[in-house]
Structure 1
Amino acid sequence: MIDVHRLRLLLELARRGTITAAAEALAYTPSAVSQQLAALEREAGVPLLERAGRRVALTPAGVVLAGYAESVLAVLEEASAALAATRDSLTGPLRIGAFPSAARVILPPALVALGRDHPGLELMVTELDPVDVPDALRGGALDVALTFVYDYVPAAPDPALDTEPLLEEIVYLATPDATRASIADCRDAGWIAGSPGTLCHTLVLRACEANGFTPRIRHHADDFGTVLALVAAGQGVSLIPQLGIADAPAEVALTPLAARRRSSIACRRGTRDHPAIAAFVAAVRESGPETRGTGARGSWY
C-alpha cells in the first residue's frame, strides 16, 4: 500500500526540484524527506528518483506516480469535506490567509458574520502576500485565502488549488500633484514600491517596463497608508488599487489606469465544498455591500 504522506512529498519534490526545497515547504528535514522517498520507492517497487547534478529528477515512473498523487490528494480532501458535512455544527480551526488591504477591509465584517453564525469555529487569520499563498495552502498552513493578481503580473493556474473570482479593482497612479497623468509621465520620478519579492513590487517594475523604462525605486513600503503618506510628502509616485485608496490625503492626485487588480478566493483542490470553507466564502461575499461603503469600491463577481 502506498503511503499518502509520502505521495505528498513526491509531489512537492516534483514541483520544486530539490529535496531541500521540498523539506522546507512541508517543515521536514532533508534527511527525513530522503528516507520517506526511499520508503516510497520500496512501496512502489520501481525507481522513482534519479540524480541530475545537484538536483533530483523524477524517473518516468516517478512522473506517473506524481501525476496520480495530485488526484489522490484531491479525492482525500473531498472525502474529508463530505465527512465534515455530516456533523451538526461547524467546529475547529479555520486558517485564513489574506493580503493586507483585504485583511483590513474585506475580512472584518466576514469574520463577524462567521463568529455569529458558527461560534464553534476557531478563526485564525494570517496576513501574507499572494506570492506566499500557494505554498501555504498546499502545505496545510492555510485552509483558505484571499489572493490577487495584477494585469501586469498574471499567474498560471495551480493544479493543486481551486480558485473563484471575488473582486476587480481599478489601479490608480498616485502622484503628489496632477501634472503627471500617466505612468510614462513618471519616467524621471522616484517610485515607491512594495518590498522586493512582493506582487506590488513586481507590479511597479512590470508597469514601468511596459512603458519603456526601469523605475528608480526610492522607497519600499507594503502598507498603502504609508505609501500614500510618502506620496503626499513628495517622496515619489506609486501604483495603488482601489482597496488601498480609502482616506487618501488631499495632497495626493489619483489617476485611474486601465490596469486592474483581480482578487479571488483560493483553497486546496477538493476542499471547496467543505462546510467551513463554504461558510467562509458565503460570509465574504455577503460582506461585499459593506465593503463598498468604505469608499474603496470595486466590481464584485
Structure 2
Amino acid sequence: MLDVRRMQVLRAVISSGSITAAARNLGYTPSAISQQLSTLEKEAGTELLERIGRGVRATPAGILLSEHAEVMSAQLSKAESALTELKEGRTGRLAIRYFATAGAALVPPAVAAIRREFPGIRLDLKLIEPAPPLRDVESGDADVAIVVFPQRDQPANGIQLVHLLNDPYRVVLPRTHRLARKRILDLAELAEESWISTEGPPGPCRDIMLNACGAAGFAPNFAVESEDYQTAQGFVAAGLGVSLIPELGLGTPHPGVVVRKLRRPEPVRSIHAAVAAHARDQPALLRLLEVMREASAATR
C-alpha cells in the first residue's frame, strides 16, 4: 500500500528538482529523503525518479504519483478544516425531539437562533407524541429531547437533565360555572365535578394530574376523554365538565371558558431538556438551551 507521506516527499523532490533541495525545504537530511523514496519505489514496484546530472527527473510513474499526492494534500487540508469546524461546533447535526406544547412555545425561537448563528448546523426536528421523546435520546437517535418530569422511569446513565421551567396547571371552567367568580380555587372544590380529560395515555402529565387530585382527597370523574387541549376547552365551554390544562397548553382560551389558578395543591409539570452525553458541550446545543430558557421566562 502506498504511503501518503512518502508520496508528498516525492512531490517535494520533483518540485524542487533535487533531493538536496527538497531535504533543505522539508527540514530533513538528504539520506532520510533518499530512504523515503527508496521505500516508496518498493511500494510502487517501479522506479519513480531518474538521475539527471546533479538533479533528478520524474519517471511517468513518479509524475502520476506526484499528481495524486497534490490532490490528496488538498483533500487532507479540506478534511482538517472540516474537522476543526465540527469540533468548534460550526458544522454537524443537531437532533431535537419535543412534545407539542413545548414545540409551540420553546422550540421555534431556539431553532431560529441556531439557524441564524450556526448556519452550518443541520437540524433534525421531530415532534414525538404520545411516546416520550426521551427514548430517542436513550437510543442515540437524538441529541436532546424536551421532556416532562417527574417520570416513572429515570433517564439512562449519561443523560443530563437541564431544567427549563415549571409549567403549572390551571383549571378551565365554563364561563357560567358557580366557581367562575373566584380568582384561586382549592383543588378539592372540584371533587364533585364532571371532568374533561386532556391526558389520554399513561405518562408523567396524567400522573401529575391524578396525584394532585389524590392529594386533595378525590379521584376525578372523567365524563369526556380528549387528548387535545383546545378541543377540551370546547367541551368545557359546552358545560360538559371542567378540565386541568398546563399554562403552555392554554394557547388562546376559548371565549366560553374562564381560566383560574389552583392551590392545595397546585399541580405543576417540570419541563427539562434531556441532553445526551456526547452533545452536552456542543456550542449549538448550549445556545439552544439558552434561548429556550429565555423563551420560558417570557411565558411567565
TM-score by length of 2: 0.60
What displacement does 1:114 show? 1.0
Name the counterpart of 2:274: 266
Partner of 2:172: 174
Q: Helix, strand or coil for the counterpart of 2:211? A: helix
Q: Does 1:237 align with 2:234?
A: no
SS in 2 for 1:247: coil
Unpaired segments of 5 or more residues in structure 2? 1-82, 180-184
Which region of structure 1 is more displaced relative to structure 2, 280-289 or 211-220? 280-289
2:212 to 192, 207, 211: 207
Q: Which amino acid aligns with 2:117?
A: D
- Deviation string 1:246-292 (CA, Å, 9 cap, x unpaired) is 31123222221233222111112343112332232233234446xx2
Report if aligned partners of 1:84, 1:275 keep a CA contact under 8 Å in 2.
no
How many pairs were matched up? 208
The alpha-carbon deviation at position 159 of structure 1 amounts to 3.1
Aligned counterpart, 1:163: 161
Counterpart of 1:7 in structure 2 is none
Per the TM alignment, residue 162 of structure 1 is displaced from its structure 2 partner at its CA by 0.1
Judged with a 3 Å threshold, the aligned counterparts in structure 2 of structure 1 residues 84 and 216 are, in CA distance, closer, same or farther, namely farther
Deviations 1:6-31 (A, max 9, x none): xxxxxxxxxxxxxxxxxxxxxxxxxx
Post-superposition Cα deviations, 1:111-161, rounded to whole Å, max 9, x if no partner, equal 1111111122222222235862332211012210112226xx687565331
C-alpha contact 1:149 1:155 (8 A) present in aligned 2: no
Q: Which runs of 5+ in 1 are unaligned?
A: 1-82
Residue 113 of structure 1 aligns with an amino acid whose one-letter code is: A
Counterpart amino acid of residue 112 in structure 1: A
Larger Rg, first or second structure (1 or 2) = 2
Q: How big is the shift at 1:103?
A: 0.4
Closer/same/farther in 2, CA of residues 137 and 88 from structure 1, 3 Å limit = closer
109 and 184 in structure 1: CA distance in 2 versus 1, 3 angstrom threshold: same
SS of alignment partner, residue 170 of structure 2:
strand
- State the shift of 1:169 in Å: 2.7
Q: Quick one: structure 1 residues 196 and 120, their matched pair in 2 at CA, closer, same or farther if it must change by over 3 Å?
A: same
The 8 Å contact of residues 106 and 284 in structure 1, kept in 2 or not, is answered as yes
Closer, same or farther in 2 for the Cα pair 1:85/1:165, shift >3 Å?
farther
Shift of the 186–116 alpha-carbon distance from structure 1 to 2, 3 Å rule, reads: same
Q: Which residue identity is paired with 2:275?
A: C
Q: 1:249 aligns with which of 239, 249, 254?
A: 254
Alpha-carbon distance in structure 2 between the residues aligned to 1:232 and 1:251: 5
2:187 maps to 183
Query: Quick check: 1:191–1:217 contact (8 Å CA) kept in 2?
Result: yes
1:275 corresponds to: 283
Supply the distance in 1 between the matched residues of 2:288 and 2:279 (Cα, whole angstroms). Answer: 12
Helix, strand or coil: the match of 1:278? helix
Report the TM-score when normalising by structure 1.
0.60
